[in-house]
Chain A
Amino acid sequence: MTYPFWYLAGLVLFWAVAPWCACVAMDLWRRKRRQLLARHYQWSWAYILLSVSLAWSTLFLFWPLVQAFVQSFTDFSLTSASATQWVGARNYRDTLTDPFWWHTLWVTLLFVLGTLPIGIMTSMFLAVQILKQPKPLQTFFKAALYLPGVISPVVSAAIMKWIFHSRDGFANALLHGVGLPAQNWFGDPNLAMPVLIVMSWLSANGVGVIVYAAAIGNIPKTYYEVARVDGAPAWRTFFSVTWPLVKPTTIFVAITGLIGGFQVFAPALLITGGGPLNTTYFLNYHIYHTFYYANEFGAASAMAVLLMAIVIAISIVNYRWLATDVEY
């Protein structure tokens, strides 16, 4: 129970000493000198200050990452009695030829496409509306819109289970009030996903609003003055001034949104269980089932690595597509 702390201590020591030795040795060799310099003393502090973080990253990030790669080429499983064997790319082949994998990918993509573009538009629009208000109101709305973001996924799930209860939840009571028939929200294959998407519109835009408000607020006034003098209509001002100038922010919001969106998991685990008829069976939920219930760690690792490849690829494409050198 305590021996892993020796690993951690050893790693801290390693990162404090080894890179420094390497750097100093390189430096001394290049300058053909023998004595240590003042900057070598500074370098030692840099690596000492970084050592804990680097040790932590090694043990809890890089090492598991390597393990995940290695494991994805084995048939490591808790349920099979036989010893773990190398299976080459079989896990990847099996995953990519499994129609269910593509189904979960499609479901996840649907969620991302349903939430992200509208989320970006909503946050930009709300940010513009916020900037029109006097300062105290700006602070209030930024805080109020961010508030749902600090609520835990479990609490949100509990509330949503209650609101969209199939018999006598809040949503059905509203429908009853206006004389519409009750719905079986999370039990209806046509409704479960749209409900999740709409709820995300309402609660997940806090960061976007704050970031856009800061970005749009930083645009120099003169651009808008010029646009007004030229008699540009509001939409033209938006597309020719605001949109290009906040592009770096859009890249940030889009990429963080994509990374988060592709990892959507809590609604499936806590609200729908992937159902009804697997319409909310997200990719992460598939991975979770593969490793937690089926205990097929090799296959699950392969899926996770594929997910990582997808996320990285989309982030790069997104960056390339939106990136422009904006200077102002």
Chain B
Amino acid sequence: MARSIEITSSRAGRWAGLAILLFYTGMSLLSLYLMVVSSLTHLGASFEFNDLDWFPKDWAWANFTAFFGLTRGAAWTWLRNSLIVALAPTMVNLIFSAMAGYALAKIDFPGRILVFWAIIGVMVIPAFVTLIPMYQMMFRFGWFDTFFALIIPRIAGIGGIFLFKQYMTTLPHDLCEAARIDGASEWGIFWKIILPMARPILAVMFLLDFTAAWNDYFWPYLVTNSKDMMTMQVGLISLIGVDQGFALQLDYGIVMAGALMASLPVIVLFIALQRFFVRGLTMGAVKG
């Protein structure tokens, strides 16, 4: 890949660019840094800004013990629920999306273009259109306030099919043809040849889907109401409140400890899988 910009940029331009990038990145990560710092500082309910230690030397874990001590260990339940709700459907969705992506990318069948465009078209539908009937559906199915409501609507998806299809199209078609001539079944080609080659996109899909499921707050908030069914996000909502504009006098140290716990898994996962990620995001969005 030719890096085109290099040609036009001077040394001064590069340093200016670096300064701008550092400033902007600093600004955009400032709030996250603030979250970490304040979760490690004892703030208390009536908090003074000067209490905040920008580079906390002795870390106060009091906020974390307080967070996990909330209402007899409720936070552990939230954490457990979030893990279940994020991990289980993501693993299943990975397989189903890969299957569908393989069919669209590597098998020539009538209706293929129709299915593909239906998938693209569906992505434009705002979540709220289907949300209201889905909400009623959960009551009719008797899934309200159960894990079914949180897991089953996530066991397959549209976005993943698109990603897998885009990636698998780039894999050499001769490979499948050769395998077919050798008498391999379609499932065998998918499972033994294409899926192992699609490993980078499996990583991306896992990251995107896990993050989406872990961060989802509104659906769990709508379809559950008991304390035992709260996920991390819903638990955090119960701490900061909804539908109110006025500023509560909360112990923001504890809230920030909760916020950190609610974002740590995705941050760690993102940093670990980050190199796959850039590739996945640019797929389908960039020509060439």
Contacts and interface: CB of A to CB of B under 8 A. Distances in A.
A248 B287 CA distance: 7
B2 A46 contact: no
Main secondary structure of the interface of A (DSSP, over half): helix
A50 B130 contact: no
Given A148-B29, A158-B240, A263-B126, A46 B112 contact: yes
B155 A56 contact: yes
Nearest to A241: B4
A144 B25 contact: yes
A60 B143 contact: no
A65 B125 contact: yes
Nearest to B244: A273
A45 interface: yes
Interface in A52-75: 52-57, 60-61, 63-65, 67-68, 71
A122 B136 CA distance: 41
Contacts of B20: 126, 129
Nearest to B11: A132
Interface stretch (A87-95, A96-104, A135-143): A135-143
Contact of B32 (A43, A145, A151): A151
Interface in B182-203: 185-187, 190
Contacts, number: 355
A190 B72 CA distance: 42
Contact of A60 (B134, B146, B270): B134
Interface of A: 1, 3-4, 8, 19, 23, 26-27, 39, 42-43, 45-47, 49-50, 52-57, 60-61, 63-65, 67-68, 71, 126, 128-133, 137, 139, 141-148, 150-163, 165-170, 172-173, 176, 186-187, 192, 199, 202-203, 207, 210-211, 214-221, 223-225, 227-228, 234, 237, 248-249, 252-253, 259, 262-263, 265-266, 269-276, 284, 287-288, 291-292, 297, 300-301, 304-305, 307-308, 311-312, 315, 326, 328
Most chain B CB inside 10 Å of its own CB: which residue of A56, A223, A328? A56
Main secondary structure of the interface of B (DSSP, over half): helix
B25 A61 contact: no
A262 B34 contact: no
B206 interface: no
A52 B14 CA distance: 51
List the 9 closest A-B pairs by CB distance, nearest first.
Answer: A173-B49, A152-B215, A129-B17, A56-B156, A45-B186, A275-B245, A64-B133, A67-B133, A214-B282
B255 A158 contact: yes
Nearest to B266: A150
Contact of A228 (B3, B8, B185): B8
Most chain A CB inside 10 Å of its own CB: which residue of B35, B130, B217, B256? B130
12 contacts: A67-B133, A131-B5, A148-B32, A152-B263, A159-B31, A159-B34, A187-B245, A214-B282, A215-B287, A219-B2, A270-B242, A311-B126
A216 B131 CA distance: 38
Contacts of B117: none
Contacts of A148: 28-29, 31-32
Given A46-B103, A270-B237, A154 B217 contact: yes
B102 interface: yes
Most chain A CB inside 10 Å of its own CB: which residue of B27, B185, B245, B263? B245
Contacts of A126: 20-21, 24
Interface string B1-40: 1111111110001100110110011011101101100100
Interface string B49-79: 1101000000000000000000000000000
Contacts of A297: 132, 136
B129 A273 contact: no
Interface in B127-181: 127-137, 141-143, 146, 148, 152-153, 155-158, 161
Contact of B236 (A145, A158, A224): A158
A224 B130 CA distance: 47
Given A45-B103, A50-B100, 19 more contacts: A1-B146, A42-B109, A45-B107, A63-B133, A64-B137, A132-B5, A132-B14, A150-B267, A150-B270, A155-B263, A158-B35, A173-B50, A192-B245, A216-B5, A221-B7, A249-B286, A262-B126, A269-B218, A273-B245
Nearest to B187: A45
Contacts of B25: 141, 144-145
B233 interface: yes
Given A132-B14, A224-B4, A311-B126, A47 B263 contact: no
Contact of B18 (A1, A23, A60, A133): A133
Contacts of B49: 168-170, 172-173, 176
Contacts of B5: 128, 131-132, 216-217, 224
Given A129-B17, A152-B217, A202 B28 contact: yes
B288 A46 contact: no
A199 B27 CA distance: 10
Contacts of B131: 64, 304
A57 B120 CA distance: 12
B1 A217 contact: yes
B132 A47 contact: no
Contact of B111 (A19, A67, A131, A137): A19
A71 B111 contact: no
Nearest to A232: B8
B21 A162 contact: no
A223 B4 contact: yes
